[in-house]
Structure 1
């Protein structure tokens, strides 16, 4: 009881300071901002003054990122989060619900939460304030705030970047004149102010345990509120009666809000922006949609993005690439990876969506495959064909930008950008998938869990080049296992898989795919936009498949041909699993082995099968690893009732998809009455501390052995590690 009372008193103290400041500022006594007040409480009047001044200077929206210190005051008294809600959260109150009264999120500690509010200013204007949720990695929110602000500038046509502003606060701060500087000189303002904590780290901390001398001085030092009151009394602007009256009023407000918190009912989901109106929560059904495009549109946009100006002089190798792409559209055959991607971008632009891609070398492509920006070899002039998909196209409808070597910063920026408007395809591509390691905080704290903790959806796409080609441990693996390990689906429960009722992706925290055809890549990108919710998409993108002779698709696989729910009919939607291309009957009792795999190893397995004429081996590609395609896996298990079940991967056993696949595959088999783990064979590299060997000869030997073992004529009696 004593603990709870003490905790409440500290919370009330922190809120009462700022609430009294707000009352003072609402009166004529605005000269208070000129006083040098120390401590966290000085943050509040300074920020309010800055917001008011910013609104007078034309700012319409402010995005804020900040640490824990002073956060309750900012939430309650600047951004106007209901005080009853804050009290309710501290008392472990009711979890927030959506518009249909359901909620499955985990929530977060109070000092991590954000909110938004349209705040009236003293000048009679309104300014939209958005405080972004963040984890305990405090500075991790900085790039997210900057990206979200940049998106607001783009979508509001804020060309001068004067209507939308970002504020990053770390440590306690005070503000004096920065709004005028920023609006006049269009540059950042940095204020470094040394402060102290009047209380400890949190409500129950006792700082004198470790800093007795310092906190003896602090206890004897008058608070900022006392200093402020004394200054006002000395100036003759207020009387002691005024101060008492305001204190009583504020105390009454806080106590009323505290009592109201006991019955506080959280409101529906707040998507921060009108752009998100109508998008569905994980509890609401969103039907699967087709993603194919009419053949005539494919032809038209294909011609537009492969045509270069007559007077433009590209490098001869690039010219050859574009001539080949034009031929692909003309014949409708042999479309490669880059062409499939370009068609996805172009068709989304035609439909009115913003498409944005950033990362290291993305304009050219790390593997010199994309060439989305072409350079005239004589003048240096640049030309981007995707800027000319439609007549009089706004050039910023498609944005491709090379970024700096800061995976953490750039991924955070693009995450913030993607949160502003769901009608946009926002992508970040790592130079190599391994480089995602540098952005792990953004993946762990924001992308994988942001919707669960903070009720914020994002459709961000992350492209991570992945595949074992003998390029060593730093250029082979995007650490597929990490993304699968962070997936929030239950491996022992098969969800509802009826295509008219399925919410599997909606209920998962993100999607992880390892796609093997240009057409399927086209559809998975378009799928991000063509549905009523948003989920992050992690793509294990290829390297050697970019130019692989067999990794091609025909134009007919991109079109809008209608068929049975579309899971097998080419050209209608993304294929979560691609069944064996050599077998077409519904029941294949003569097949002795079913090899399940994902990614580019499929092509090596298929080549080995052809070389050995192993027609009794079926190979299926699991294109969507997470969430797991139980229905399609079970379809294949039924098709091959006598087959050995093998999972083949090129990654070491403790990496790759095996640890994710095995229990889900076992669950699928058990539900069909088949044996489980005893029936699942692993073929791949042995467990390893390093992702890959640095010696090409060793890599080639390992790769050849695992492919041979997967197709060998002898029965596979136990797991085969290479």
Structure 2
């Protein structure tokens, strides 16, 4: 076989022979054309040695954008309270006429939101999200929300699109803020095809930098269906090709007894894929942002920051499940007003620094379980500090916290995830190298799966973690 292949003429030579044999083009003329073509290729190859390419980024739709720097910047992502109230009311409005809102939504969703918007307090997660979407749309940005059942929300919390129960007519309230609005909300309920959907949304974010493109997984665990797109484009598209993307991935995360396939967005994997440094302070030029926000206001600021900064970075959010409606996990309009911004670290709102002997760092919804037990114990010697943004690692804010609680002698990282998961391995080395602070680990032991599938074991583990945090 090899001999046959070696003796066979190349396709160009065979084609040249056929042309000559059929008297279509004389062989001498063909030789001249081939020589002419090779000469042209050689000339261009020589030019490549001195060629200076023109900058291709920040043109067209990207005009006016910049590259981020190695410093950390803070952005005023709050907005006028009057605008927030206007958007809040509009977010649950319905068209005049025969259109009908489902009675259950009218009672449990529309009325509650209007009441809380009027008071300006106890705003839940979905309300803060609607305020972020609506305020951006009012400013002329587009918002695109894609994923499985995103219109309603996996946990029936969002209802960005309403459906008349009689006529099945769909109505998107935020697309009717003003008759002259230029920004709109696109709600795309997609099939369970994570790779294809995320690939499209990533491309959309690259082609339309003035649109907030969001892909929400039904559960955070499901992102692995799109791992090829994440590894090839989301995590390092800018590093390889200078192509920025502001895509947002919402990955519902939390150890709440739902079993190994519905508990974890594998924060540890995302942290491993960042180019965050273990030995120096991170800057805005990190390859992507990883956040685990614990309040609606923090989520509001994260979404608005994606559009208001003059550059784009992918944002990975370990989004909530059980705290979507938790009474203690609410925010006020004042926390979203002009002059406010996202806080990478949230200090303890009740601890008295002079009394604190134990400093506990945590991230995500685990904070609320810790705070509830601390209140039950009447513990005044423990401060609970939330790391809301894991990458870029907020070393400056953490240093301020450590300096504030200068009487603390015990330093703990408490997490609900297993030891080989969650943020532990990422934060531990950075606390040691950058803060000179050794942390004691409190959390679940190593496990091959993200979570146990046995309810009794889950409950026992959760109780053990909470008790150990306050007894160490």
TM-score class normalised by the smaller sequence: over 0.9
Q: Deviations over 1:689-717 (max 9, x none)?
A: 111111222212211221122123xxx2x
* Residues 660 and 269 (structure 1), Cα distance of their counterparts in 2 relative to 1, 3 Å cut: farther
Q: Structure 2 vs 1, CA of residues 347 and 235 (structure 1 numbering), >3 Å: closer, same or farther? A: farther
Measured against aligned partners, the alpha-carbon deviations of 1:510-536 in whole angstroms (never above 9, x if no partner) come to 000000011110000010011111111
Are 1:439 and 2:198 counterparts?
Answer: no
CA distance in 2, matches of 1:593, 1:269: 53
Q: CA deviation at 1:642?
A: 2.6
SS at match of 1:610: helix
The equivalent residue for 2:341 is 573
Q: Does 1:696 align with 2:462?
A: no
Q: 2:162 aligns with which of 374, 396, 404?
A: 374
Matched, 1:709 2:441: no
Are the counterparts in 2 of residues 307 and 326 from structure 1 also a CA contact under 8 Å? no
2:434 counterpart residue number: 668
After superposition, give the CA deviation of every residue in 1:604-661 in whole Å (9 maximum; x if it has no partner): 1111111111111111111001110000000011011231111110000010000000
- Residues 225-267 of structure 1 show CA distances to partners (whole Å, capped at 9, x for unaligned) of 2344345445655433432332222222222233333344444
2:330 is the alignment partner of 1:542: no
Which residues of structure 2 form unaligned runs of 5+?
none
Q: For residues 88-112 of structure 1, what are the alpha-carbon distances to aligned partners after superposition, in whole Å with 9 as ceiling and x for unaligned?
A: xxxxxxxxxxxxxxxxxxxxxxxxx
CA RMSD of aligned residues (A): 1.9
Q: Determine the C-alpha separation between the residues in 2 that align with 1:283 and 1:260.
A: 34
Name the SS for the 1:625 alignment partner: strand
Once the two structures are superposed, residues 570-606 of structure 1 have per-residue CA deviations (whole angstroms, 9 ceiling, x without a partner) of xx1111111110147xxx2431111111100101111
Following the alignment from structure 1 to structure 2, what is the Cα–Cα distance between the partners of residues 647 and 266? 49
Which residue number corresponds to residue 247 of structure 2? 460
Q: Give the TM-score, by structure 1 length.
A: 0.63
How far apart are the structure 2 equivalents of 1:432 and 1:226? Answer: 58
1: CA distance between counterparts of 2:363 and 2:72?
27
* 8 Å CA contact 2:140, 2:181 repeated in 1: no
Contact 1:649 1:684 in 2 (8 A): yes
Q: 1:356 aligns with which of 144, 162, 187?
A: 144
Cα separation, 1, equivalents of 2:454 and 2:415: 19
| Bigger CA radius of gyration | 1
Alignment of 1:637-676 (within 5 A): 637-643=402-408, 644-670=410-436, 676=437
Tell me the number of residue pairs that the alignment of Structure 1 and Structure 2 aligns: 469
Deviation of 1:357 (Å): 0.8
1:646 aligned counterpart, secondary structure: strand
Counterpart position of 1:475? 262
- 2:367 corresponding residue in structure 1: 602
Q: Give the alignment's TM-score, normalised by structure 2.
A: 0.95
Looking at both structures, which has the greater relative contact order when contacts are Cα pairs under 8 Å and sequence separation is at least 6? 2
- The whole-number CA distance in structure 1 between the counterparts of 2:22 and 2:314 is 57
CA distance in 2, matches of 1:626, 1:433: 18
Unpaired runs of at least 5, structure 1:
1-212, 496-503, 562-571, 671-675, 717-722
Say which SS state the counterpart of residue 306 (structure 1) adopts. coil
5 Å-filtered alignment, 1:272-671, equals 274-283=60-69, 288-310=74-96, 311-320=98-107, 321-393=109-181, 397-495=184-282, 504-505=283-284, 507-561=285-339, 572-583=340-351, 588-643=353-408, 644-670=410-436
Q: Which runs of 4+ in 1 moved over 6 A?
A: none
Deviations 1:138-179 (A, max 9, x none): xxxxxxxxxxxxxxxxxxxxxxxxxxxxxxxxxxxxxxxxxx
3-state secondary structure, aligned to 1:419: helix
Write the distance in 2 (CA, Å) between the matches of 1:705 and 1:425.
Answer: 41
